[in-house]
């Protein structure tokens, strides 16, 4: 089961880390939790929540700027390798075109991400000006922006080594 698999990963990594760093105890603060999510709006809300987490944590200004979430992935790759299905969750938008599904999902995420919740004072939201500019473009991604998302790893890299190696 998924829970057993996750338990094995967590226990195995904790043992490895503890041995390597001469420590004892838990590595993660809590147990893995598996939640079953209903289809439809519930699933779309769950996906949007996950895609908005990096934004709310203040890591990015736009959800797609975080390359490791589904929105960032779809905009970077256009899902050419079929790694993430646009049928999962996004099928709820009732359109056949995967590009249109992504556009509608992006609009949904932006609208949800622009809501400023008073109970979450620390959480960052998508700036109103960003939402307005994106809405003006009807949530489409330009070719230039798509190219930028695909090639950003050219500059998002580093070199690790001695001064001689780096020079």
- Residue 161 in domain: no
Calpha distance 29→101 (Å, rounded): 37
Calpha distance 105→98 (Å, rounded): 10
Say if residue 16 is in the same domain as residue 82.
no
Say if residue 41 is in the same domain as residue 29.
no
Say if residue 54 is in the same domain as residue 22.
no
Say if residue 13 is in the same domain as residue 55.
no
What length is written for the chain? 167
Q: What is the pLDDT of residue 16?
A: 92
Calpha distance 46→88 (Å, rounded): 12
- Residue 90 in domain: yes
pLDDT of 78 higher than 70: no
Q: 9: domain range? A: 1-34
pLDDT tens profile 9-59 = 888 998 999 999 998 887 777 777 778 888 888 888 888 898 999 888 888
Q: What is the pLDDT of residue 145?
A: 72
Does pTM top 0.75 for this prediction?
no
- Residue 159 in domain: no
pLDDT of 64 higher than 70: yes
Say if residue 149 is in the same domain as residue 124.
yes
More confident residue, 87 or 7: 7
pLDDT tens profile 117-155 = 666 656 677 777 777 787 788 777 777 776 676 666 666
- Residue 11 in domain: yes
Say if residue 2 is in the same domain as residue 55.
no
- Residue 73 in domain: yes
Q: What is the pLDDT of residue 19?
A: 92
Say if residue 124 is in the same domain as residue 85.
yes
For residues 56 and 50, the answer to whether their CB atoms sit within 8 Å is no
Say if residue 75 is in the same domain as residue 113.
yes
Q: What is the pLDDT of residue 20?
A: 92
**Helix, strand or coil for residue 166?**
helix
Say if residue 21 is in the same domain as residue 51.
no
How many domains does one find in the chain?
Answer: 2
Say if residue 139 is in the same domain as residue 59.
yes
Say if residue 90 is in the same domain as residue 46.
yes
Say if residue 28 is in the same domain as residue 48.
no
Sign of CA dihedral 107, 113, 71, 91: negative
């Amino acid at each position: 089961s998924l829970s057993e698999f996750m338990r094995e990963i967590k226990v195995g990594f904790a043992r490895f880390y503890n041995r390597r760093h001469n420590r004892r105890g838990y590595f993660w603060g809590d147990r893995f939790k598996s939640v079953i999510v209903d289809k439809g709006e519930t699933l779309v809300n769950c996906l949007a929540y996950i895609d908005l987490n990096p934004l709310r944590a203040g890591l990015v200004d736009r959800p797609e700027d975080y390359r490791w979430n589904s929105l960032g992935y779809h905009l970077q790759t256009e899902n050419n390798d079929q790694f993430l299905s646009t049928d999962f969750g996004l099928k709820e938008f009732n359109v056949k075109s995967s590009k249109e599904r992504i556009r509608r999902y992006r609009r949904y995420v932006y609208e949800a991400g622009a809501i400023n919740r008073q109970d979450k004072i620390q959480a960052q939201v998508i700036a109103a000006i960003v939402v307005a500019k994106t809405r003006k473009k009807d949530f489409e991604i330009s070719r230039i922006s798509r190219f930028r998302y695909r090639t950003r790893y050219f500059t998002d890299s580093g070199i690790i080594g001695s001064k001689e190696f780096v020079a």
